């Protein structure tokens, strides 16, 4: 089913794949680990995308996903995971953990202990790395450590010019 999806970023497809009905069918077939994954992803998604949830419920649902992700790694084992952590691409695994932790920490930083979950966006980071890839001379979409310093300098200079009211 995944291979035939024309739009892998479709929210409707994700809602279908990780629905409670799918979880129930998985449990009927005795695929309990898969059903748990389905449930954890659905509840995490709801914590991120549904309105009207309490902060405690959002935290609990995010923590289920975080616990699932962390249950598959042993930080005391050498060598550490390289490309994948229990089948998850390490970049995705790391980004999900960071995302959940950052949103959890925001509750303690915001006055009143609450914030608009939609206000927290990855757009800034996406824009930053989009700009970074534009400055890539190799065409690989990344910059070397040597080029990174030059990129930061250029980005800072451009930002100062853009923000200068007398330019």
Length of the chain: 167
Give the pLDDT confidence of 33-69 residue by residue, as tens digits: 999 999 999 999 888 888 788 888 988 999 999 999 8
H or E segment at 84? strand 84-85
Quick one: how far is CA 45 from the chain centroid? 11
Give the pLDDT confidence of 75-101 residue by residue, as tens digits: 787 777 778 888 888 888 888 888 888
Structure tokens at 73: 């790694």
66-73 mean pLDDT = 88
Distance (Å, whole) CA 55 – CA 105: 12
Burial label for 12, CB within 10 Å (0-12, 13-18, 19+), is: exposed
Give the pLDDT confidence of 104-154 residue by residue, as tens digits: 888 777 776 666 655 665 555 566 666 666 666 666 666 666 777 777 787
Cβ-contact 82, 90 below 8 angstroms: yes
How does the average pLDDT of the chain come out, rounded?
78
Distance (Å, whole) CA 149 – CA 165: 26
Tokens 């291979």 belong to 3
Buried-state track 79-93, b at ≥16 Cβ within 10 A, e below 16:
eebeeebeebeeeeb
Distance (Å, whole) CA 150 – CA 165: 25
């Amino acid at each position: 089913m995944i291979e035939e999806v024309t739009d892998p970023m479709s929210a409707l497809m994700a809602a279908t794949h990780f629905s409670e009905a799918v979880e129930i069918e998985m449990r009927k077939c005795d695929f309990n680990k898969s059903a748990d994954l389905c449930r954890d992803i659905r509840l995490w998604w709801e914590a991120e995308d549904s309105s009207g949830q309490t902060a405690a419920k959002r935290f609990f649902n995010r923590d289920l996903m975080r616990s699932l992700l962390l249950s598959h790694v042993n930080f005391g084992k050498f060598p550490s995971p390289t490309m994948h952590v229990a089948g998850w691409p390490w970049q995705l695994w790391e980004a999900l953990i960071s995302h959940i932790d950052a949103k959890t920490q925001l509750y303690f930083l915001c006055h009143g202990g609450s914030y608009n979950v939609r206000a927290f966006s990855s757009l800034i980071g996406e824009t930053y790395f989009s700009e970074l890839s534009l400055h890539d001379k190799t065409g690989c979409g990344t910059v070397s450590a040597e080029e990174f310093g030059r990129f930061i300098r250029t980005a800072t200079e451009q930002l100062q010019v853009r923000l200068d009211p007398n330019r």
